Copies of this chain bind each other. A is one copy, B any other.
Amino acid sequence: MSDVSTLVEQARAGQARAVARLISLVEDDSPELRSVAGLLAPLAGRARVLGLTGPPGVGKSTSTSMLVSAFRARDLRVGVLAIDPSSPFSGGALLGDRIRMHSHTVDAGVFIRSMATRGALGGLATATPQAVRVLDAAGFDVVLVETVGVGQSEVDIVALADTTVVLLAPGMGDGIQAAKAGILEVADVFVVNKADRDGADQTVRDLRHALSLGRRESGPSWRPPIVRTVATTGAGADDLLTALDGHHEWLATHGELEARRIRRAASEIEAIAVASLRARLGGVNGGEALAGLAKRVAAGETDPYTAADQLTGGV
Contacts and interface: CB of A to CB of B under 8 A. Distances in A.
A208 to B, nearest CB: 17
A291 interface: yes
A254 to B, nearest CB: 16
Interface in A268-315: 268-270, 272-274, 276-278, 281-282, 290-291, 293-295, 297-309, 311-312, 315
A312 B266 contact: no
Contacts of A290: 266, 269-270
Interface stretch (A12-20, A33-41, A61-69): A33-41
Interface stretch (A74-82, A178-186, A224-232): A178-186
A246 interface: no
Q: Which of A92, A174, A261, A297 has the most CB of B within 10 A?
A: A297
Q: Size range of the interface on A?
A: 35 or more
Q: Which of A151, A185, A272, A306 has the most CB of B within 10 A?
A: A151
A258 interface: yes
Interface in A238-281: 258, 261-266, 268-270, 272-274, 276-278, 281
Contacts of A276: 308-309, 312
Q: Which of A54, A155, A282, A305 has the most CB of B within 10 A?
A: A305
A91 B305 contact: no
A41 B311 contact: no
Contacts of A269: 290, 293-294, 297, 304, 307-308, 311
A44 interface: yes
Nearest to A261: B298
B175 A89 contact: yes
A206 interface: no
A155 B293 CA distance: 25
A43 interface: yes
A155 B175 CA distance: 21
A1 to B, nearest CB: 14
Given A269-B307, A276-B312, A88 B179 contact: yes
Q: Which of A40, A262, A273, A291 has the most CB of B within 10 A?
A: A273
B89 A300 contact: no
A298 B258 contact: yes
30 contacts: A33-B305, A34-B303, A42-B300, A85-B151, A87-B150, A88-B152, A88-B179, A88-B182, A90-B150, A92-B177, A92-B178, A117-B152, A151-B152, A151-B154, A262-B291, A262-B295, A262-B298, A265-B298, A266-B293, A266-B294, A268-B304, A269-B307, A269-B308, A270-B290, A272-B307, A272-B308, A274-B278, A276-B308, A276-B309, A277-B277
Given A274-B277, A276-B312, 16 more contacts: A89-B175, A89-B179, A91-B182, A92-B177, A129-B304, A262-B295, A262-B298, A263-B294, A264-B298, A265-B293, A265-B307, A270-B308, A273-B281, A273-B308, A277-B281, A315-B315
